[in-house]
Amino acid sequence: MDLVRDLTAAHVLKGLGVVATLVAFKKTISFLTAKYSPPEKLHADNKPGPTDTVVLYQFPRPDNVAFPSLSPPCVKLEAYLRLCGVSYVNRFTIAGLGKSPMGTAPFISLNGVLHADSNLIIPLLEETGLSTGLSAHLTPVQQAQAHAIQCMVDDVIYHALVYERWQLDDNWASYKQMVFGKAPFFVKQLVAPMIRAKTVTALQAHKIGRHTYREVLEKHGRCIDALAVLLGDQEFFFGGERPSLVDVTVFAHLGCILALQIKTMGLAQQIRAKPNLVRLVERMAALTKLNA
């Protein structure tokens, strides 16, 4: 009889656990949909945008951060679209990221077709003639140098940024509050750590996650030193009166680092030690008017 009673109780508790999990899941979806989906229906929902208009899906504008996004690729792509005069509309979403071909932002819908990764989207727009690009004025040597700089920024500076936000224990509490602060309790306590664990695993696979923070700062610092020397006293990389894609890429990454207020800000300190890079970020922010 006791065994039957124990088994019955166990089944009841198990059933309650399943119900609680389903309720939590439903609340999570409701929260993400309500907070992060735009009032308009997603164009990727079998509703393509106007012909030759880019529908840009990206993370929501952050609260209490003086920058348009916490994501450098999102800033990079939107800044590029503005500077090139490409017709686009924004769709801020997290719930809609499942539609992304790569499962993350930014991604676009163009004439009913989805494309992901800013480094693939930009060449696509230029190949289709929707954009004339930003680097046509560069010589072949400068274009090769520009590619090398962008690879350095995308690899070292981007992953150093992710490391400082997600892997560094000193910063996790403040960054979690910034990203998940308005989320339900169970999202902050259950979902956020899961996302962090996945991100840290990716950093480990990249190998930068196996370094100490001091080593990450050394790698990042050398890149910042190189950028400062290359920029010199010019308004833009490679001189001239107009920016190239390199300027957009550097602006997006350094701007995201400078704007974020977290406990340990070693990356930002290295950037602030280079006044010419800070001025570049300010100059590009004024040109793109992304905060307007």
User: Could you tell me whether strands 88-92 and 54-58 are parallel, antiparallel, or unpaired per DSSP bridges?
Assistant: parallel
Same domain, 160 and 255: yes
In a domain, residue 44? The reply is no
* Separation CA 160–CA 102 (nearest Å): 22
What residue type is assigned to position 220 of the chain? H
Give the pLDDT of residue 290.
Answer: 87
Same domain, 103 and 160: no
Domain limits at 206? 140-288
Same domain, 147 and 242: yes
In a domain, residue 23? The reply is yes
Domain total in the chain: 3
Contact 56, 89 (CB under 8 A): yes
Give the pLDDT of residue 48.
Answer: 63
Look up the CATH number of the domain holding residue 67: 3.40.30.10
In a domain, residue 210? The reply is yes
Give the pLDDT of residue 126.
Answer: 98
Question: What Å distances lie between residue 95 and 81, 164, 249, 272, CA to CA?
Answer: 23, 25, 27, 35
Same domain, 147 and 235: yes
Same domain, 9 and 76: no
In this prediction, the residues of the chain whose per-residue pLDDT falls under 50 are 1-27, 29-30, 32-46
In a domain, residue 72? The reply is yes
In a domain, residue 150? The reply is yes
Give the pLDDT of residue 268.
Answer: 98
Please give the angle made by the CA atoms of 290, 55 and 151, to the nearest 5 degrees: 65
In a domain, residue 86? The reply is yes
C-beta neighbour count of 113 within 10 angstroms? 11
In a domain, residue 41? The reply is no
Same domain, 65 and 201: no
Contact 280, 250 (CB under 8 A): yes
Same domain, 189 and 273: yes
* Separation CA 215–CA 91 (nearest Å): 38
* pTM, rounded to two decimals: 0.83
* Residue that finishes a domain, picked among 81, 106, 127: 127
b/e per residue 265-281 (b: at least 16 CB within 10 A): bbbbebbeebeebbebb
What residue type is assigned to position 176 of the chain? K
Give the pLDDT of residue 184.
Answer: 86
Give the pLDDT of residue 65.
Answer: 87
Residue 133 backbone class (left: φ over 0; alpha: ψ -120 to 50; beta: rest): left
Same domain, 12 and 144: no
What are 76-99's pLDDT values in tens digits?
999 999 999 999 999 998 778 889
Contact 132, 227 (CB under 8 A): no
* Residue that finishes a domain, picked among 101, 127, 153: 127
Same domain, 72 and 183: no
Contact 105, 59 (CB under 8 A): yes
In a domain, residue 49? The reply is no
What are 52-79's pLDDT values in tens digits?
999 999 998 888 788 999 999 999 999 9
b/e per residue 1-25 (b: at least 16 CB within 10 A): eeeeeeeeeeeeeeeeeeeeeeebe
* Residue that finishes a domain, picked among 63, 97, 127: 127
Same domain, 99 and 205: no
Look up the CATH number of the domain holding residue 247: 1.20.1050.10
Same domain, 190 and 279: yes
Give the pLDDT of residue 154.
Answer: 97
Q: Give helix 72-84 / helix 275-288 axis angle, nearest 10°.
A: 60
Same domain, 177 and 282: yes
